[in-house]
Each structure stands twice: as C-alpha cells, then as structure tokens.
C-alpha cells in the first residue's frame, strides 16, 4: 500500500505504547500503528509487518529488543497454541494495572468523563504503580457526588485474586480424533481447538481450571477409550461423544459431569457410570445431553440423568444455588462473591428499599440484594434462567423477590406504569450494554442510586455518559478481576442522582 511509512513484509523496530482489546501490543513505527501479538507496553521490538490497512496494520513479533519489567515467561506450556488465555506473559500485577487503565481509558475517551488522577496517569503510568501494589486493598476514598463532579470519578485499583490460578468451576472440552492419516481416524482426544482451525489438540491440564474438572475430563477420556466409545467427527457428522462438561461446586465439593452426544443411545452406559463413580469419588450427578445438530453450539435441548441428581449445589456468600447441566452460573465463584459484595455495598441498602435488578440471569445479584432490601424485582430475557432464579429464591426461603421474563427495556417501563418506584436500580447487561430505552426509563424513574455491573468498559463508558447527562454522577468504579490471564475486564460503577447525599 503506497503512502504508508511501512511496507508489507518489511522488518521494523517498534515502540509498544499500549495493549489492544485482544491483549496484543499496540506498536508505533514512524507514527503508524501496528498491532503486535505478544508484545507488551514499554517494550521495543523488532516486528515484521504482515497485514496493512490505511489506519493501522498487524505485525509478527520477531525479537524483543528491550523487554518490559512486567514480562514473565508464561507458566502454561501450551499458552501460545491454545489462545484461551491472552495475558500470561504479563505479570499478574501488570494485568491488574492494565485492566484498571483500560477502564480509565474508556471512561475518558468514549464517555468523555473526568477521572480522578486520570489522563496524567494514563500517559505517565506512574500513579498506577500504587494501584498495582495495592491490588488487594479493598479500602477506598469515601468519594461523594460533589467530589466526583470536581475531582472526577474515582477508579479503584483492580481487585485481584490472591491465587489467580485454578479459578474456573466449569470445563467444556471438545472431543475428537487425533490427527492420523486422511483415511484413518486416530484415537479419541479432548482438549482445545488449535488456533484458527477445528483440529482438536489433546490436553490434560489447564492452569485456570479447578483440578477436579481436569481430573473428571481425563477420566472420561480414559474410560471412553477403554469402552470403545467413538469420538464425534465434525466433518462426517458421525461418531458419538462431542463434548465433556465438568462442573464443580467450590464451596460444596459437588461434581457434575455431562456427556454431550450425537445421538440418544450410549453403548455400555451402565459400565460407563460404574467406572466414572469409581474413578471420581464425590461425584453427584452424571448426565447425558443429546445434540444431533451440525452446529458448534455445545448443548442440545434434551438432558437425561444417567445417575445421581439433576443438579449440584454451590454457595456464594450466604446464598445456595442449584446448578443444572445447562444453567448459567458465574465461572469464577471466588471473585463473584467479591463483585456482588461490591455491588451490594454500592447499593447502600438499609432494609427499606425497593430495588430493580435488570438483566438478572439466574437471580444471583437479586438474591444477594434481597437480604438487605424490602423488595427486589428481577427481569431477564431467558425463560430458563428465570425458572432457575425462582427455584433459587425458594431454595433459600427468600420471599421478597419477584422475577419476570422479558426484555428489561420493555418490562421495566411496564413496572413504572404499575407504580413501582425503585430506590436503587442495578444493571448487569451483556457486552453490548444497556438498551437506550432502558437508560431513558431509568432517568424517568429517578432512583437515588444506579449500580452498573459491566463486562465491557466501552459500553459502560457510553452508558455512563447518558446517565451523567440525565442528572447522575458517577462516583466510583471498582474493577474486579473475574478472569485472570485473559483480557476480560469486569467492573462495577456507582452512580448517585445529583442533589442527593451518598
């Protein structure tokens, strides 16, 4: 491409000035931006330009000339092949600083919001040293709306994990064949898809997976090989075992295994159940889910219990949850408690309030809030999740919560017409953020507080701007590391209506 300061396949030295959304280094070569996977901010690298567009391009990291002090060697031996984690080459402290900075950058650039100690921190990176050092420090400056307006939003240091490994309570492992020859299928393997392909690479250990889940998957593979159960072949749509899903209750030790099969009948099923029970003491539930579709969606519609219960239980804080084969349940239960604790703290409940929980899923946050509110209303678009939410409310004897299926932007205006007047609205939307109609309704309902739980800082920033223009001030934002070693950034923000005391 002419007119660019770099040429395709040319080799250049680049300074890395930031991290992109996928964890790649953002490099500059004579003012031109190259995204360089594997490079870290502060580094100088030798890069080969591989793909060029007008505004930016992509480069392949050839050599690190000057390494970042935050660079470490990734602990996982298959890190570069797997792609499930993106930040293992960055120290954990560095990851926490990166996640906070990403929130700040989005608030400033997309939300046009003022962040306390913001832009200067973004350019110097200095004030972040304190942030990294204090990453386990939950204390925060008691910000108030008036200080927020003058000094800007307080973005706290990311709350990280003390032990940021083995945190996932669910494994979903694709099963397939070892690459053999074109006309002969190799042995059964299970692991992950090689990057950019559908070839399955066998894996026995994943460092972010709870050990029990690794063990369950390894045992299923061993037993399936022993019994001659055939792996599913995506290309021919033949074979039986498609996925193994293992779920583990961190606080109860209960284990569930789900075999997803391309067809109803499972040969040697009694033997299979017997061997699994023998191999995995403490197992509570063995299920089969049938998925006969040509699809990369994991689960089909039909689930049978082969042995044991249809659910396992786990607790978050004082609340007990029933988890079925297909239930949505937060994958990092340790940090979920931290996140929801923060949301509850931000809600500032005294026991008399009416609270709405929009995008409530299986009611996790609603049930947390109900412990300290007069009445909670939860709304969620997936009917099955609302069934779970109601069941979980009953399981915990919580009666001051009401759940409704529907779109938040449709149901909440309806609640408004019925005269429901919330003191606090909590939202926890998917990545695309809140619907504009919901934001408008929030502004009409004028709750004292809005608590915004977000898995995407860019839509968080966009929505906060709308609420700020409508008469709210963002007081503080707390990033919480729910997914160590990945680029996912979760945070919770507190907004207070202007003219009310915190």
Chain residues that interact with ligand SAH, rule: CB under 6 A: 328, 330, 359-362, 364-365, 379-382, 385, 407-409, 428-430, 435
Q: Distance between CA 425 and CA 493 in Å, rounded?
A: 12
Candidates 82, 85, 434, 455; catalytic one? 455
> Closest residue to ligand SAH, Cβ-based?
361
Q: Provide, rounded to whole angstroms, the least separation between the CB of residue 135 and ligand SAH.
A: 23
The strand order across the sheet containing 449-454 reads: 154-155, 472-480, 490-497, 449-454, 424-427, 354-358, 375-380, 401-405
Q: Provide, rounded to whole angstroms, the least separation between the CB of residue 361 and ligand SAH.
A: 3
CB-nearer residue toward ligand SAH: 79 or 340: 340
State how far the alpha carbon of 456 is from the alpha carbons of 174, 364, 372, 495, in Å: 27, 19, 28, 17
The answer to whether residues 483 and 332 touch, using CB atoms and an 8 Å cutoff, is yes
CB-nearer residue toward ligand SAH: 36 or 411: 411
For 256-274, give one letter per residue: b (16+ CB within 10 A) or e: bbbbbbbeeebeebeebbe
DSSP string spanning 391-430? HHHHHTT--SEEEEES-HHHHHHHHHHTT---SEEEE---
CB-nearer residue toward ligand SAH: 423 or 435: 435
Q: Distance between CA 236 and CA 486 in Å, rounded?
A: 33
The answer to whether residues 390 and 378 touch, using CB atoms and an 8 Å cutoff, is no
Nearest to 174 by CA among 188, 187, 192: 192
CB-nearer residue toward ligand SAH: 229 or 312: 312
CB-nearer residue toward ligand SAH: 364 or 459: 364
Q: Provide, rounded to whole angstroms, the least separation between the CB of residue 363 and ligand SAH.
A: 8
Q: Provide, rounded to whole angstroms, the least separation between the CB of residue 311 and ligand SAH.
A: 16
Query: Is 360 annotated as catalytic?
Result: no
Nearest to 34 by CA among 70, 73, 8, 68: 8
Query: CA angle 308-331-341, nearest 5°?
Result: 115
Q: Distance between CA 163 and CA 438 in Å, rounded?
A: 38
DSSP secondary structure code for residue 222 in this structure: H
Residue 235 backbone zone (phi > 0: left; psi -120 to 50: alpha; other: beta):
alpha
Q: Provide, rounded to whole angstroms, the least separation between the CB of residue 245 and ligand SAH.
A: 18
The answer to whether residues 310 and 287 touch, using CB atoms and an 8 Å cutoff, is yes
Q: Provide, rounded to whole angstroms, the least separation between the CB of residue 247 and ligand SAH.
A: 15
CB-nearer residue toward ligand SAH: 428 or 476: 428
The answer to whether residues 490 and 431 touch, using CB atoms and an 8 Å cutoff, is no
CB-nearer residue toward ligand SAH: 11 or 384: 384
Q: Distance between CA 241 and CA 260 in Å, rounded?
A: 6
Cα dihedral sign, 207-212-213-215:
positive
Q: Provide, rounded to whole angstroms, the least separation between the CB of residue 111 and ligand SAH.
A: 21
Q: Distance between CA 92 and CA 71 in Å, rounded?
A: 10
Largest CA distance in the chain: 73
- 249 is written with which tokens? 């209750």
CB-nearer residue toward ligand SAH: 57 or 429: 429
Q: Provide, rounded to whole angstroms, the least separation between the CB of residue 337 and ligand SAH.
A: 12
Residues taking part in catalysis: 455
């Amino acid at each position: 491409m002419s007119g660019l300061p770099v040429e395709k396949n040319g080799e250049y030295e680049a300074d890395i000035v930031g991290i992109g959304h996928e964890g790649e280094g953002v490099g500059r070569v004579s003012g031109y931006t190259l995204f360089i996977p594997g490079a870290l901010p502060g580094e100088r690298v030798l890069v080969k330009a591989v793909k060029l567009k007008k505004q930016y391009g992509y480069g392949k990291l050839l050599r690190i000339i000057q390494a970042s002090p935050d660079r470490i060697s990734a602990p996982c031996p298959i890190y570069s092949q797997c792609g499930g984690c993106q930040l293992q080459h960055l120290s954990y402290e560095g990851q926490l600083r990166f996640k906070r900075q990403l929130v700040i950058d989005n608030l400033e650039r997309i939300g046009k919001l003022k962040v306390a100690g913001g832009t200067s921190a973004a350019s110097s990176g200095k004030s972040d040293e304190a942030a990294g050092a204090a990453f386990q420090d939950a204390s925060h400056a008691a910000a108030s709306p008036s200080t927020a307006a003058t000094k800007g939003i307080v973005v706290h240091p990311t709350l990280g994990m003390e032990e940021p490994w083995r945190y996932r309570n669910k494994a979903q492992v694709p099963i397939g064949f070892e690459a053999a020859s074109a006309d002969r299928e190799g042995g059964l393997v299970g692991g992950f898809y090689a990057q950019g392909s559908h070839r399955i690479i066998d894996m026995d250990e994943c460092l972010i997976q709870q050990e029990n889940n690794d063990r369950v998957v390894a045992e299923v593979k061993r037993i399936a090989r022993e019994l001659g159960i055939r792996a599913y072949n995506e290309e021919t749509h033949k074979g039986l075992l498609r996925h193994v899903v293992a779920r583990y209750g961190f606080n109860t030790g209960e284990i569930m295994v789900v075999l997803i099969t391309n067809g109803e009948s499972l040969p040697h099923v009694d033997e299979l159940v017997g061997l699994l029970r023998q191999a995995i003491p403490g197992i509570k539930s063995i299920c089969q889910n049938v998925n006969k579709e040509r699809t990369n969606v994991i689960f089909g519609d039909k689930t049978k219990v082969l042995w044991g219960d249809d659910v396992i239980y786990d607790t978050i804080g004082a609340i007990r949850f029933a988890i079925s084969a297909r239930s949505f349940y937060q994958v990092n239960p340790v940090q979920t408690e931290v996140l929801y604790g923060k949301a509850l703290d931000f809600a500032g409940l005294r026991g008399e309030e009416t609270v709405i929980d929009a995008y409530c899923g299986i009611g996790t946050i609603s049930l947390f809030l109900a412990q300290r509110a007069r009445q909670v209303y939860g709304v969620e678009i997936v009917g099955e999740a609302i069934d779970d939410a109601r069941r979980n409310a009953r399981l915990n004897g919580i009666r001051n919560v009401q759940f409704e299926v529907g779109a938040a932007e449709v149901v909440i205006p309806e609640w408004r017409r019925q005269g429901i007047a919330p003191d606090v609205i909590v939202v926890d939307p998917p990545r695309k953020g809140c619907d504009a109609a919901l934001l408008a309704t929030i502004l009409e309902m004028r709750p004292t507080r809005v608590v915004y739980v977000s898995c995407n800082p860019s839509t968080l920033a966009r929505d906060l701007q709308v609420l700020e223009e409508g008469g709210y001030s963002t007081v503080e934002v707390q990033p919480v590391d729910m997914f160590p070693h990945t680029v996912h950034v979760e945070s919770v923000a507190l907004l207070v209506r202007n003219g009310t005391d915190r």
